[in-house]
Each structure stands twice: as C-alpha cells, then as structure tokens.
Structure 1
Amino acid sequence: MRKKSDFVLRFCLILGDAVALILSFAMAYFVRVHVDPRPYVFESQLLDFTMTIVFLVPIMLVILVALGLYKKSIFLGRSRFPERMRLVLAAVLSVAALIVYDFFVGENLFPVRVMAVTAVGLCFVFLLIERIIVRLFIRQVFKSDYGVKRVVIVGNHKNTEYLADYITSTPECGYRLAGIVANRRYIPRDLKTHQYSSLKDALKRARADVIFQTDEKSTEYVYKQAVLRHLLYYFVPSETALSSHFGELELVGNTPAVLVMATPLTGGYAVIKRTFDILFSLVAIIVTAIPMMIVWLVLKLTDFKHSPIYKDDRLTQYNRKFKCYKFRSMKSKYSGLTAEEAFIKMGKPELIKKYRKNGDYMKNDPRITTVGKFIRKTSLDELPQLFNILKGDISLIGPRALLPGELRDYGDRSLLLTVKSGLTGFAQVSGRRDISFEERRALDIYYVRNWSLALDLSIFFKTIAVVFRREGAK
C-alpha cells in the first residue's frame, strides 16, 4: 500500500474532481431552468445534458492535469493559494473548452450565456469543496499511519535537521521518519535514536520507501541504491544547483526537493495509463470472448487432463511476482520446465545452445503442440493476459514480463521493474522474435526512461499492425 499511496491519492482526486465537475454543470442547468425566472429556450433535458457532460469530463480532467492540480506538493502543501488560483483557471478553461466543442459540434450546450458564467463559478466552488473533503480524508488516513511512506534522510546538511523535524511534526504530510544517515550535529536532539551508521544498514533495517539526500556526497551511489530497491529518490539541491535542477521539484514543508525519477511514468500519468488499461481490457475481453471460448474448447478436447490455461510465475513492477495467464501451447510434460530442463528431458541437450543463441526461439520447437503453433502464430495464446491487465498485474504496454530466473541476465533489471510489465511493448513491435535478446533489453530500457503518452499510442497502433501482419510471430 505504501508504494501505491500516491497512485491512490491521485485516483481519489481524479474521481472526486470528475464527480464535482458533473455536479457543477448539472446544478448550473437546474439553476437556469428551475430557479432563474427569466424565459429561456432550452430543449435538452437534465439527464441528456448531464450525460453529455459525463462524456466530456475527460477533456476537463486533462486541463486539470496540465495545470498541475494532481501534484502532491500542490494538493498537500501548506499554502492553499496556488491550488485555488489554479482551480479558478481550471474552471474557466473547462467551460471555455466546452464552448469550443459546442461551437464545432452544435449541441447547443449553453444556449443562455449566463449559464456558462454560472457553470464557471459552480465548477470552482464544487472542486474546492470536494478537494477539502478529500484532503481531510487523506490526512486522517495518514495520521492513522496507513499508506504513509517511510523516509531515510541522508546527508550532512542543515536541511537534514529541518526535514526530520518537519516529517515528525506533520503526520498528515504522508511521510514517517525511518532513519537518518548523518553526523549527530545534523540530527535533532530528540531524534538521535533514528541515526544509522551507513545507508546500507538503514535501508536493511528501516524498511524505507523514500530516500532524501541533502548533500552532494556520493549521489551516484545513493541514487543507485534507491533504484536497486525501487525507492523514490529526492535530492535536496543547494542554491546554486537549484536553478539547473532536473526531475520534478516539490516542496517538503518549506524545503525544495528534486524527485529524480527513474521513469516519467508517475503521478497523474500513471492514473491515466491505469484507467486506459481497465477500459481497454474490459472492452477487449467482451470482444474476444467467443474466440477465447473456442480456443479453450479446442485445447480441452485435445488434452482432457490439463487446464487449457497455463499459469506461469512472472515479475512485474517492484519485483512483484504474479501468475501470468496464457493458453497452453506447450506439451504438458514440458510445462513449467526451463528450456534447458525440457531439452535434457527429451534427450536433446544440443538444442539448448541453438535455442539461446537464436534469442530464445527455435523454428519447429519440439516442445510446442500443433494447436500451440497456430495460437502462437496468431497471438491467440496471449488473450488470457487481458485478465492480468484488468487485475492490474500488468499493463497493456510495457517491458516484457521477466521470468524470475532471467533476472541474473539483466544488468538493468531494477530499472526495468520500475514500471509494470506489458502485454505488448516497444521491443515486440520492433521485431518481436526477429531481434536479439540484447536488443530487446535495450528497447525495454529505452521505454522505461523515455515513456510518454505519444510513445504508448505509437506502440499500440504498431501492435495492431504487427498482429494482423503476423510479423515476428512464430
């Protein structure tokens, strides 16, 4: 829960904002039609009007994301002024966006000008009230110590003392002090018991989720430790470094800290990606239900003893194991065995080198059934993973899901596991099995470091083309 607390926070905010926006426009309609005594010409009924607004809510939420209203430092910061000013701008831009939409589509959303003005005011008021409610709820949750992130502060700097004091005195900030690696003179007197002699010792014993570094000593080592353990890493810059910072700048109390991200796929973008995954998987499961039933039935008829669905241990975000669902394409006697174990069992150990040298692929692989060859060729064997996407085990797009035993072959394994594994990905649409193991790994790492919505859309459409052309499917 601690690693997902930021995601849950932003999800609650987005859901609350969506409800607030819908209610504000519905109230604007009600006020104009039932309260304002002046005559009007308005053909749309309240339900029809509200459903149109529901359909257009994503446009308004994108505006809120663009204005930074889902940044933790804005939402939980001590000053409410920046958030309120952005909410005013969000209300104006949201109504303006709907007016532009109405102009081109001609749905006559605001036949009376005063209704648009009323909607602006109500949007601001409803968003403000909703965020106060969510903030109170989140702070009570944090005060109960549920979902808070455990912090280790590293560095001999005055900011070490300030951060330690702020975190311990502000339980609603979402952090708990787990350890301090610094000289005793930089540690508050009542927090001396939190001191550790080394970062390695602190991370081993403190069960940390976040590292704050307040000096510039051994930054590469400290950052590497954060990446290896899938921890958030904040660097508190000096005044000279502040003007040229990289990463996302946040205020922790009154101290600016730079969140150095292993991937851009964080915060509101993670919520957007997860929302798309849920919607896509639901639609895809409905559309492919009949093909999946046919494949399941054929596999069951050809092998009564074993389940048509094969479940295999794979790794996803933060090195978490999950059961990956696939239609069984391999002969049951080789299921669950590594390639080495299977080829030795069939008495053909000479195939091991050929299989590995060819990028974990072999034409006419003797382990694959006749039906298995067909469903692999058509990618039908991957369809059960739609349920993995719906459950949140994996995403539609991401690095290839690793087998636990493959970790030793990945020099950047921790970096690859900073995001969810994917049903498809950059490597798959760049050649699937036609490129080497090293090239696939490099492409997956590129995806993690350079993620963007545009890159995901590009991979999505390329995947459709690749599947229909059967490129690389073997």
Structure 2
Amino acid sequence: MALSAPHLPSDRRSVRRLPAKRVVDIVGATSLLMLFLPVMAAVFLLLKATCPGPVLFRQVRAGLHGRPFRMLKFRTMHLGAHAERASLAGRNDSDGHLFKLRDDPRVTRIGRHLRRFSLDELPQLVNVLRGEMSLVGPRPLLLEDSDYTGRARDRLLVLPGLTGLWQVRGRSNLPWEEMLRLDLHYVENRSLRLDAGILLRTVPAVLTSRGAH
C-alpha cells in the first residue's frame, strides 16, 4: 500500500516535470547495462560460487509518492541478516534516522569489496528501466528508516535515484539533516544540467569510495 500523499502547500505539491529525463534514464541505463554486463556477470558468478543463497537481494523501498517497490542489489550480507538488525541497533553509527554500521558484521568479505565501489548497486539499472527509479534523485530509503513526516515527505515528490547529491558529497559520512537538505535542494532545483553534474561527480566519488560502508 502506498503512503498517503505529502501534505504540502499547493505551490510545492506540483514538482516541475522533465519529460526528457525519462528518455535520458532509458538511454543511460541501457548503455550502462551494456557497458557493465561483463562486470555484473563476473559478480554474479563469484557470489554464486562463494555465498550460499540467492545472488540478488530484493528489498522494499519507498518510491515516487511513497509507492513501495522492490529495489534490486547484489547480496552483500549473509542469509538472515535483516532479522539481526534489532540486535545491532545499539551500535548504529548514524544519527538515529538511518541505520548504518561502518563495520557491519553481517556483511560478507566479498560484500565489502562490492560496497566499496558500489558494484552491489548495478542491478538497480533494471529498476531505472522499469520506471521505478531514475539515474539521479534522492536515494530510496527503507520504510522503517524514516517516518516521512514534515520536510522528509518532500523527498517522495520525485523518483528515487541511483545516485544523488549526498552520494557525491560524502555518502554515509553525512548526518541525516545534511542528507535531507541536499535531497530537498535537488527536489526544488532539479534539471537535466544538475543531473549531468551529479552523474559526472559520481565517478570519482565511487572510485575513491569515500563514505562507502
């Protein structure tokens, strides 16, 4: 069931649509899938050979207007990891709005390498082609990671993205309030030019793996 529509003033409820953005998403995601297909195949075979259980991890996230969708990732944690989250709550390295551990014991050895260079996120290109995500936008969060009240609901006015402003400005090292500020800046100022700048800055952010855990 979708979350209720954000209660916003009428002048903010209608976010400017960019018809060309969907074209860019389709062309870009298709091109990136073709480019990274050998890498994805190698990751698939490596995980299949070394990690028991499914290779792909499907997790429900909040999409456009709060509609839940299943986000795809290469699995980086051992089986049953989500059930262990409650027991690790006291070790949360985030500021309470998100759950992040810099040294998460649930992450496999191979999973740490995949996360370091964001290779685990490559299957989300399929989500982009399905229209559930965009190449650029606020990252889709777990429903339990935010109550989506107040300003946080504004994040749901656009498609979630494969990358975004806080991914190129520190990733998980940023506090929640700064992440939210950057997401809202994107929602209110989104343009193809801004998207192009974020995509270009994503490359060095991924290669340096700053804030990745």
Normalising to structure 1: TM-score of the pair?
A: 0.42
Contact 1:264 1:450 in 2 (8 A): no
| 1:307-326 mapped onto 2 (5 Å cutoff) | 307-326=54-73
- Select the structure of larger CA radius of gyration: 1
Find the counterpart in structure 1 of residue 74 from structure 2: 327
448, 456, 460: which one aligns with 2:199: 460
* SS of residue paired to 2:181: helix
Deviations 1:215-256 (A, max 9, x none): xxxxxxxxxx9742x8x94xxxxxxxxxxxxxxxxxxxxxxx
From the two aligned structures, give the one with the greater helix fraction: 1
1:454 to partner: Cα distance = 1.9
Find the counterpart in structure 2 of residue 299 from structure 1: 47
Instruction: Structure 1 unaligned segments of length 5 or more: list them.
Output: 1-224, 234-259
Q: Aligned pair 1:355/2:106, yes or no? A: no
1:261 to partner: Cα distance = 4.1
Question: How many residues get paired?
Answer: 209
Ranked by relative contact order (alpha carbons within 8 Å, sequence separation 6 or more), the top structure is 2
1:287 to partner: Cα distance = 0.7
| 1:279-294 mapped onto 2 (5 Å cutoff) | 279-294=27-42
Find the counterpart in structure 1 of residue 21 from structure 2: 273
Find the counterpart in structure 2 of residue 424 from structure 1: 163
Identity %: 33
Structure 1 residues 384 and 262 mapped into 2: Cα distance closer, same or farther (>3 Å)? same
Structure 1 residues 338 and 408 mapped into 2: Cα distance closer, same or farther (>3 Å)? farther
Find the counterpart in structure 2 of residue 369 from structure 1: 108
* SS of residue paired to 1:332: coil
Contact 1:379 1:467 in 2 (8 A): yes
Find the counterpart in structure 2 of residue 30 from structure 1: none
* SS of residue paired to 1:364: coil
Structure 1 residues 263 and 430 mapped into 2: Cα distance closer, same or farther (>3 Å)? farther
Q: Aligned pair 1:441/2:189, yes or no? A: no
Find the counterpart in structure 1 of residue 128 from structure 2: 389
Aligned partners of 1:419, 1:410: CA distance in 2, in Å? 16
Aligned partners of 1:386, 1:333: CA distance in 2, in Å? 25
* SS of residue paired to 2:54: coil
Structure 1 residues 337 and 326 mapped into 2: Cα distance closer, same or farther (>3 Å)? same
Task: Kindly provide the amino acid, as one letter, of the partner of residue 319 in structure 1.
Answer: G
Find the counterpart in structure 1 of residue 83 from structure 2: 337
Contact 2:60 2:142 in 1 (8 A): yes
Aligned partners of 2:187, 2:84: CA distance in 1, in Å? 27
Structure 1 residues 369 and 447 mapped into 2: Cα distance closer, same or farther (>3 Å)? same
**TM superposition outliers: structure 1 runs of 4+ over 4 Å:** none
Contact 1:426 1:444 in 2 (8 A): yes
Task: Kindly provide the amino acid, as one letter, of the partner of residue 77 in structure 2.
Answer: M
Structure 1 residues 227 and 364 mapped into 2: Cα distance closer, same or farther (>3 Å)? closer
1:408 to partner: Cα distance = 1.3
* SS of residue paired to 2:132: coil
| 1:198-213 mapped onto 2 (5 Å cutoff) | none
* RMSD, aligned α-carbons: 2.3
